[in-house]
Structure 1
Amino acid sequence: MTGVLAAAVLLVAGCSSGGSSPGGGDGSGGAPSRTAGAPSPSAPDRESTPPAKGSVKVLRTVAQGLNSPWGLAELPDGALLVSSRDQATITRVDVKTGRKTLLGTVSGVAPEGEGGLLGIALSPGFASDHMVYACFTSASDNRIVRMLYDPAKPAGEQLGAPDTVFKGIPKGFVHNGGRIAFGPDGMLYAGTGESGRRGLAQDRKNLGGKILRLTPEGEPAPGNPFPGSPVYSYGHRNVQGLAWDDKQRLFASEFGQDTWDELNAIKPGANYGWPDAEGRSGDPRYQDPIAQWHTDVASPSGIAYVEGSIWMAGLKGERLWRIPLKDTRAAAAPQAFLTHTYGRLRTVAPAGDGRLWLVTSNTDGRGDPKKGDDRILELRVS
C-alpha cells in the first residue's frame, strides 16, 4: 500500500496542463471577499486531527439489483431514496429489509452518455413540504427540479410532476456534473461539468464547470461572491462530489482528464484552474487541490465527511479513499479501501454513528456487472 500511495497520490495544492477527452468525465480514462452566511474554508482550526490510518468494515449489503444508481438521499424515517440515471426513476429502499418500492419516473429526463437522472436531495423543509429535488439531463440542458413525494399513493405514482427551479446548465455526452446538496446554510449547491467544452469553465457568465449556490427556489443565493450570479466557484472540469465538514467548510471532488483527479477545499469566488491547470500547478491565479490522484486510481464521484475524514468514491479506480482532514488540509496521505472488491463506486453518504452508505456503479455501461449489481452497502468507518 505504501508504494502505491507514494506513486499515485501527492498531497498538494494544484495543477498541470491538459486537454479535454470525451471519456474522462466519468472515469473511463483519461477571490472576492467572503460574505456572512456562506460556508468558509478559513474557519479557525479547532478540531482534533483524525489518525493517519483508518479502517473500514463492510457491515452488510442493504439492497441489490439496482440499475445505474446515481443519487442517494436518506428520508427522516431512515429509508433511502436512490435515483436511476438511465431509467429516470426514484426508488425507496427499506434499509432493514432491502425492499425496493418504485416512487415513480421523472418526466423530461433524456438519458445519454453520462447524462440522465443524476443527484437527488431532500428539501430542508422536507418534514412539512415533502419535496425531493433532482438534477437531470433534459433534451436541451441540465436542470434542477423539485417534486412532491406522497407515500400514501400507490407505488409508481408517488412522485408529483417536476417543477423546474433552475435550468440552462450546459449538457453534453460527458461532463454533466449532477451532484446537488443543501448546505448547512440552507442553500442549494450544484456541481456542474463543462460538457466537454473546456472554455466554459473559465467563463463566469456560463453555468458549466462551476459550483452553483442557489436558494431553494432557484435564485442566486444571497451573499454569493459575484452579485446577481449563481456562480460560487469556477474553473472546474466536472464536479460530482460535495460535502461539508463539521465546521461548515465545503469540499468538492473533481475529475481530471488524463493526469490528476482532485479533492478541493472550496473558497467563494475562487478559480480552480481548468482547463489551464489540472492538479497541482502552484500558479497563484488558481486554487490548488488539497489532494490529487492519478486518474486510474480514482476518477472520483461522490464524497462524504465522517469521523474527521472525507471519504471519496472512485469509479475507474474501483476503491474508496479516506482523506483525513485538519482544517482545510489533508492531515496525512490518503488511504485506499475496498480496492477492486465491489467494482466502480459512485456515491457515499453519511449513515450516522460512524457509518457510511456506499453505492456501486457497475451497470452504468462502463463497469463489469456481477450477480447482484448494483448494490448499496453499509460500512463502519473510522
Structure 2
Amino acid sequence: MLTSCADFDDSASGQTWEPAPDLTPQAGPQPQLPEAGGTSQGPPKGSAPTPVPPPDGCKDFNKAVIATCLDRISAVAALPAAGSTIGALAAERISGSVLRVSSEPGASPKEIASFDVDASGDGGLTGLALSPSYSEDRLVFAYLTTEKDNRVVRFAEGQPPKPVLTGIPKGPKGNRGVLLADSDGALLVATGDAGDPAAAADPKSLAGKMLRIDTSGKPAKGNPTTGSRVLASGLQAPGGICESTDGSRTWVTDRADGRDVMYRVEPGTTLTTPVWSWPDQPGVAGCTDWSDVLIVATSKAGNLQNLPVTEEGAVSGKPSVTMDGENGNSFGRLTGMDVVNPDFVVAGTANKDGGDPVSSDDRVVLISRQMTPAGNGRD
C-alpha cells in the first residue's frame, strides 16, 4: 500500500516498504491498494509488472494515492480509523494550509485551517501532530514560522489557533521544526538552530533542541531537568521524529553540515554521535520505527532508506534503498510520515520543491511494508 512508528521481527529478512495488498480486518482499516507497478500480489515470476497509467490531470491511477494536486506537503498526521477509510491531515509548507484527506473514493481534500507563515529559510508550516487526547478534544498541534519567530500553536477545526510555545529563534535558515506526541502524552518538539550552531549548545535557547512539553507548552513531567523543556540538544535542521511502539526509544533525523544523520535521543544529552550518517545528503525527513527496521523518507533523493535495527535498538548495518523508481515504484520526494496502524504509514510528497512533479503532484500516499528475500537490499 500506499510518507516526527510500529513492530516486526527478523531484521535479516530484508523487509521493505512498498505499496501493499489488502490485509485482514484485524490489522485495521485495509483499503485495496495494489502495488504501484502491478497487482496487489505482484506479477508472476519472470513477467514484467503491469504498469500504472500516468496521472491524467489531478486523477492519479495509483490506488495508493489518497490526495492529489496539493501544494508542497511538509507534514502529515494520521487520523483515527473510521471503518475501512484511512484519513489524515496534510500540511502545505508554503501556503500554511492544513487539509483533511481521505482514502474514501471520490473524497476531495478539505481545508480545515490556514496560517500566515514565512516560508523562507526552510520555514513555513512544517510540523503537525494530533493531541494525545484527540478523540476527546479534537485538537491539533502545528509548528510554523511567523514574521517574528518559530512557534507551536494548537487549533481545532473552525476555531482560531492559540499559541502554545512562542519565541523559538528564527534565522536565515534552520527554521524547520517537527512534532510528535509521545507514548506518555507529552509533545516532542524538534527545533532548528536558526542558522546559529552556538544556539543549539546554549541551554537557555530553544533553538536546536528536542523539547518535551505538555499540551499547554510547559515543561513535561519526567524531563531530565526539572523546570526545563529541553530533552536533548544539538540539532540543526530536523526532518522527522519517530518512536518505537512501546515508547522505549525515540529517533530524530537531522540535516547537519556536510551530512544527513539519524540520532537516537537519550534524555539529558547532546546529540553528537549519530547512529547513521549519509554523506550524500539525501534530505532525511520523516521516519518510522518498526522494531527491526527504521524507515527514513528522503525529500531530495526521493526514496526510502531502510536501516536494520537490533532488539537492543542499535543500527546493525547500512540501509537498503526502496521506492527509488525501480519498476515504477516511486512517488518522488517524500517528506512527513505518520503511522496509520501496525502495517501502514501515510506520507506526503514535495515534488514541486525542486523535484520532477507529475500532473497530480503534490500528493498524500499510503505506504506499507512487504517481505523481500534476505539480502535483497541495494547499497
Q: How does 1:220-239 map to 2 (within 5 A)?
A: 220-239=219-238
**Paired residues of 1:356 and 1:381 also in contact (CA < 8 A):** no
CA separation in 1, counterparts of 2:316 and 2:246?
Answer: 16
Of the three residues 278, 295, 308, the one matched with 1:311 is: 295
- The letter of the residue matching 1:80 is A
TM-score relative to the length of structure 2: 0.77
Which stretch shifts more, 346-355 or 47-56? 47-56
Matched with 1:253 is: 253
- The letter of the residue matching 1:64 is T
Of the three residues 335, 357, 363, the one matched with 1:346 is: 335
Matched with 1:196 is: 195
Of the three residues 350, 353, 359, the one matched with 1:371 is: 359
Cα displacement (A) at 1:84: 0.7
Cα displacement (A) at 1:97: 2.1
Cα displacement (A) at 1:47: 8.8
Residue 50 (str. 1) matches residue 11 (str. 2): yes
| 3-state DSSP of counterpart to 1:71 | strand
- The letter of the residue matching 2:242 is A
**Paired residues of 1:349 and 1:358 also in contact (CA < 8 A):** yes
Runs of 4+ with >6 A deviation? none
Cα deviations across residues 322-341 of structure 1 (Å, max 9, x unaligned)? 11211221133211112253
Cα displacement (A) at 1:257: 1.9
CA separation in 2, counterparts of 1:318 and 1:49?
Answer: 26
Of the three residues 270, 278, 295, the one matched with 2:280 is: 295
Cα displacement (A) at 1:353: 4.2
CA separation in 2, counterparts of 1:105 and 1:179?
Answer: 18
| 3-state DSSP of counterpart to 1:216 | coil
Matched with 1:121 is: 129
Q: How does 1:23-62 map to 2 (within 5 A)?
A: 48-51=9-12, 53-58=14-19, 59=34, 60-62=64-66
CA separation in 1, counterparts of 2:9 and 2:156?
Answer: 41
Cα displacement (A) at 1:361: 1.0
CA separation in 1, counterparts of 2:279 and 2:104?
Answer: 38
| 3-state DSSP of counterpart to 1:96 | coil
CA separation in 2, counterparts of 1:74 and 1:129?
Answer: 16
Matched with 1:67 is: 71
| Structure 1 gap segments, 5+ residues each | 1-45, 150-158, 274-287
The count of residues paired between Structure 1 and Structure 2 equals 311
CA separation in 1, counterparts of 2:161 and 2:368?
Answer: 36
| Structure 2 gap segments, 5+ residues each | 1-6, 20-33, 35-63, 371-379
CA separation in 1, counterparts of 2:295 and 2:252?
Answer: 11
Cα deviations across residues 208-260 of structure 1 (Å, max 9, x unaligned)? 111000011100112212221111100111222111113311111111222x2
Cα displacement (A) at 1:359: 1.6
CA separation in 2, counterparts of 1:333 and 1:263?
Answer: 12
Cα displacement (A) at 1:308: 3.0
**Paired residues of 2:150 and 2:167 also in contact (CA < 8 A):** yes
| 3-state DSSP of counterpart to 2:199 | helix
Matched with 2:144 is: 136
How has the CA–CA distance of structure 1 residues 378 and 104 changed in structure 2, closer, same or farther, with 3 Å as cutoff?
A: closer
CA separation in 2, counterparts of 1:48 and 1:319?
Answer: 23
Matched with 1:362 is: 351
TM-score relative to the length of structure 1: 0.77
CA separation in 2, counterparts of 1:215 and 1:105?
Answer: 22
Which stretch shifts more, 372-381 or 189-198? 372-381
**Paired residues of 2:244 and 2:291 also in contact (CA < 8 A):** no
Q: How does 1:81-92 map to 2 (within 5 A)?
A: 81-92=89-100
Cα displacement (A) at 1:354: 1.9
Percentage of identical aligned residues: 28
Cα displacement (A) at 1:48: 5.0
**Paired residues of 1:52 and 1:332 also in contact (CA < 8 A):** no
